[in-house]
Structure 1
Amino acid sequence: MPDVASPKIPVTVLTGYLGAGKTTLLNRILSEPHGKKYAVVVNEFGEIGIDNDLVVGADEEVFEMNNGCICCTVRGDLIRIIDGLLRRKNDFDGIIIETTGLADPAPVAQTFFVDETVGAKTSLDAVVTVADAKWLKDRLKDAPEAKSQIAFADVILLNKTDLVTETELKDVEMRIRAINPFARIHRTQRSEIAIDKVLGQGAFDLDRIQAIDPDFLEGGHRHFHDEDMRSYSFSSDKPLDPDRFFPWIQDLTQTQGPNILRSKGILAFKDDPERFVFQGVHMILDGDHQRPWRADEPKLSRLVFIGRQLDAAALEKGFLSCVA
């Protein structure tokens, strides 16, 4: 059980392809009069890091990571920096990690599951992706990182909407939905958005899946596809057997892990009065009981996978074999 006296510090991962508007959004967050303090970890690709004065806000702590792209070499660095932050007195309200535009956000998200010290004191609040409305369509064709950034997102800022027509905007939103039907999309110009739509989302705790996708309770499975990246959702109104589910999901993520970008689930186990919530990044899974089932909500197990080259029929068969 978490210590009530010291709640976990929320971490927001801010990502998006080069030039989409991440730093503009970060500056907005740091300069708004919200009365909160954030520690910021900034990572730039290459030898020369971002100038500290580019990231505004005198009260903020900026930690620069410039020994390479955050997605390949610096997980150890990230753990060390966050560990250092956590050793201080709690003088900040959250941590924001801005990744380089060339980063796949997966290893950053995995950090919060891999390292016990970091995982015990922080919680991944949301992956926020800033996307360029004018150029995203092209980037989805030629930049796999851009596609991963969309697939991993809990919140997407579709930025620079003033540079495209409404028809183009709807087309790019359709492409985003094809890759990730569950993220919240906000249309923005110059990354202007209410901060409470970006921070404090609790998006990684899954409680909002139904709010994002009201049809989620309808059962069955649906998949949305965009070339190689697809998402699949499954549900069952029959309770699951944990002795079947856990071996199945662990085996699945070990064998298919590289192809599963994100997995999420809210599960109803037999003889269990509490909802079990889990989420995964590639092969790494994390889960816990969340809260008792409310009397007015159906005890429905829901599962989501976003990934490449997944066998929908096999996924569904495996999931349904876990029914008690």
Structure 2
Amino acid sequence: MAVPCNVITGALGVGKSTAIRYLLQHHRPRGERWAVLVNELGAIPVDHAALSVDDNVVVADLPGGCLCCTLGAPFDQTVERLLRQERPDRLLIEPTGLGHPARVLETLREGRSAKAVDLKATITLVDPRQWRSGELADHPAWWDQIELADVLIANKADLAPSGDLAAFMGWAADLFPPKSRVEITRDGQLNPSWLDEPCDSGRSPLFPDAHASTDGGQLREPEPVTEGVWRACGRGLGQRSVGWVFAAATVFDRQRLLRTLGELRPAQRLKGVFRTGRDWLLVNGDRDGIRAETCTWRADSRLEVIGNADAEALEAALLACRREKGRV
């Protein structure tokens, strides 16, 4: 039987991973096994830590670049492997927020696993403030994330001025071809029924050649910088990234860590998981600030930053957040 599959798109920091985590924690039917395939821009995957909520969730990472531009064959192969080995009841795919969804959908329709996938609604999250400000207007991939959406969602509605939200909803209602649904939510709280809306294969990208000028990027393997610490830098899709991995024994001072990350500018997006005493914290940061919650990850501490952060200064600040050995 073909496995229901959704592609969940949206710009950096709009709340895609938060929405998927919400679905996994609150709306996955009892006993079902779900798979999530995540495409992260940088070389240090963090979403695996964020989304591995229990043993019935399988997370696969494809770091670096766009799923279809630089990772075309690995993407197709990974989908095939997930379906064959894990036999999930549903597959969720999260491309990088800077990526173009057109060929992802094309691969799912025509690739090696086309017959094994029941392609459902493409869901796109939009921050109404970004839409109203026009800050993403020069990004063809963002426009096509909207154009190819079956379900279009205004997320972070609690943070958007009422005028921005109303203007976006009015504009979205007039889109052609019309969306199956245009919805409003906050904190990525998706209604699970939206997943089963149909996928309209007749939707076409406005910028089909946007891939031609896409910078596939360069990633470096993590390199040791001091005992128990590794760093990896990269660039791709017009952005720079830097990430760190810290040995599992490393313990961070929670308050000092959150203060350090909260002062990080400029950075478009940061994600991390850190051991802070007996708890491990999942940390997300964007223009709306730093948010932290406990998580089940226990393998190591790690951080990925997208933007023009001063890597050397941030590294020094992170190292200064470590607790002395023996203190937990």
Question: Shorter chain as normaliser: what TM range?
Answer: 0.5 to 0.7
Deviation at 1:201, TM superposition (A): 1.9
Relative contact order higher in (CA < 8 Å, ≥ 6 apart): 2
CA distance in 1, matches of 2:177, 2:208: 20
Match of 1:129 among 120, 124, 130: 124
* Matching residue's letter, 1:87: R
Q: Decide whether aligned partners of structure 1 residues 131 and 121 sit closer, same or farther in structure 2, where only a CA change above 3 A counts.
A: same
> Counterpart of 1:189?
186
Contact 1:134/1:160 (8 A) holds in 2? no
CA distance in 1, matches of 2:74, 2:59: 14
| Residue 114 (structure 2) pairs with residue 119 (structure 1) | yes
Match of 1:29 among 23, 26, 50: 23
Deviation at 1:157, TM superposition (A): 1.4
* Matching residue's letter, 1:153: A
Contact 2:52/2:58 (8 A) holds in 1? no
* Matching residue's letter, 2:93: I
TM-score if structure 2 supplies the norm length?
A: 0.57
CA distance in 2, matches of 1:150, 1:28: 22
Equivalent residue of 1:202, what SS? coil
Match of 1:75 among 55, 72, 75: 72
% identity of equivalent residues: 28
CA distance in 1, matches of 2:135, 2:171: 12
Contact 1:46/1:67 (8 A) holds in 2? yes
| Residue 202 (structure 2) pairs with residue 201 (structure 1) | no
| Residue 140 (structure 2) pairs with residue 144 (structure 1) | yes
Q: How many residues align?
A: 204
TM-score if structure 1 supplies the norm length?
A: 0.57
Q: Decide whether aligned partners of structure 1 residues 14 and 153 sit closer, same or farther in structure 2, where only a CA change above 3 A counts.
A: same
Q: Decide whether aligned partners of structure 1 residues 257 and 130 sit closer, same or farther in structure 2, where only a CA change above 3 A counts.
A: closer
Deviation at 1:258, TM superposition (A): 5.3
CA distance in 2, matches of 1:17, 1:180: 21
Give unmatched runs, 5+ long, in structure 1.
Answer: 1-6, 210-227, 230-255, 260-324
Q: C-alpha offsets along residues 202-261 of structure 1, whole Å, 9 cap, x if unaligned?
A: 33378xx9xxxxxxxxxxxxxxxxxx95xxxxxxxxxxxxxxxxxxxxxxxxxx9759xx
Equivalent residue of 2:75, what SS? helix
Deviation at 1:51, TM superposition (A): 4.2
> Counterpart of 2:241?
none
Equivalent residue of 2:85, what SS? coil
* Matching residue's letter, 2:24: L
Contact 1:130/1:159 (8 A) holds in 2? yes
